[in-house]
Amino acid sequence: MTQIEPYRVNIPQADLDELHDRLARTRLPGTLPDDGWRRGVPLEYLRSLLQYWRQRFDWRAQEATLNEFDQFTTTIDGQRIHFMHVRSPEPDALPLLITHGYPGSVAEFTQILGPLTDPRARGGDPADAFSVVAPSLPGFAFSTPLSGKGWEVARTSRAWIELMRRLGYTRYGAQGGDIGAGVAGMVGGLDRNRVVGVHINSDLLGAASMAGEYMPVDLDALTAEEQAHLTELKQPLAEGKGYLQLQSTRPYTVAYGLTDSPAGQLAWIVEKFKEWTSPAVELPEQAVDLDQLLTNVSLYWFTGAAPTAANFLYEAAHSYDWGDGSVAAQQGWAVFGGRDPLMRKLFDPNGGIGHRSEFDEGGHFPAMEVPQLLVADVQDFFRPLR
């Protein structure tokens, strides 16, 4: 089955009513130690977010924002795939495949889709335009229900290649962050004859935490001082990996609570936005728009994606399929939330990444935190590759 069907987000009112009822009946724990964020999301902070979500957050307004962009579903390898497909008005626009990560969704991209697809309307160069394809990862949001086991980076990358073929694109770019960075890189390796370049984004601390654990690097090439510095960079996130250990080993055990409690789902996601957004701000809503953040959380809630999104992390942790290890010849990397020369030595010792940008602003979610910087960097990278 290769049909592509139009799709519009339309959450039933009964589901909205149930969410508001559950929020009104939230059972919170008793007084917890006043220890800031060291033990997790502070009680009073979560209480205030729950009140905002129930009383002030307008899902229908956010739903209308999502529906400003053309969306579709199709079935690939037995899995329902939801995707945004925002065509540029410019006839020579380069197709661009963008992939989100965890705990994200396509709701991350609403601030960048317009600037990417229609720079002319914003005073930019029409030659920088893209036609954007932004799928929901299998098991996330409207790419549910999950059809079965085995959906991880490699299988998803092959599905994305088929999606771009199905859309008629014979030449395109790939972009992503978090899980999406791995997908973009593998798409570039597997579809090297069609992919003109791969651009990924990461945050400084997140990149450091991956070194030697999830991404192979030559730690022996570091001096004692550099190794000590790397340990220091990793420390802020060292205690924040509990979510990954749980979801990559026992995803369904924790998913019952997340699926049954909107408060639990909110706390689970908002903690990552606290830890992974710009280190220069104190609270998540100082880094990203609160309504956009709650839209992202709401997508997990309404689609019941907690278990299937976590399953993606489980499958990735147990997969041995990483393609042939190669990526497209042209690579770009944008690092947000700090600059550090050690990152180049770790991840690009031979200078194979032709385009590398570092920004003090932003963090793990640049499409939400600093959309203008991400858009400009993507445009700069792909400009000579068109």
59-116: per-residue pLDDT in tens? Answer: 999 999 999 999 999 999 999 999 999 999 999 999 999 999 999 999 999 999 999 9
Which pLDDT does position 231 carry in this prediction?
78
CATH number of 4-27+36-385: 3.40.50.1820
Q: Residue type for 15, please?
A: D
Q: How far apart are CA 143 and CA 136, in angstroms?
A: 6
Q: What angle do CA 368, 370, 376 make, to 5 degrees?
A: 115
Q: Where are the domains of the chain?
A: 4-27+36-385
Judged against a pLDDT cut of 60, whether residue 336 lies above it is answered with: yes
Q: pLDDT tens digits for 223-247?
A: 888 788 877 877 777 777 888 888 9
Band (pLDDT 50/70/90 cuts) for residue 319 is confident
Which pLDDT does position 14 carry in this prediction?
98
Q: How far apart are CA 76 and CA 135, in angstroms?
A: 12
Average pLDDT, the chain: 92
Q: How far apart are CA 112 and CA 69, in angstroms?
A: 12
Q: Of 48-57, 128-137, 177-186, 208-217, which gets the smallest average pLDDT? A: 208-217
Return the structure tokens found at 24. Answer: 């009104």
Which pLDDT does position 48 carry in this prediction?
97
Q: pLDDT tens digits for 242-298?
A: 888 889 999 999 999 999 999 999 999 999 999 999 989 999 999 999 999 999 999
Which pLDDT does position 325 carry in this prediction?
58
Q: pLDDT tens digits for 45-56?
A: 999 999 999 999
Which pLDDT does position 346 carry in this prediction?
77
Return the structure tokens found at 82. Answer: 């939801």
Return the structure tokens found at 197. Answer: 């370049």
Pairing mode, strands 172-177 and 130-135: unpaired
Which pLDDT does position 151 carry in this prediction?
97
**Ramachandran quadrant class, 282 (left: phi over 0; alpha: psi -120 to 50; beta: rest):** alpha
| Bond into 103 cis (ω within 30) | yes
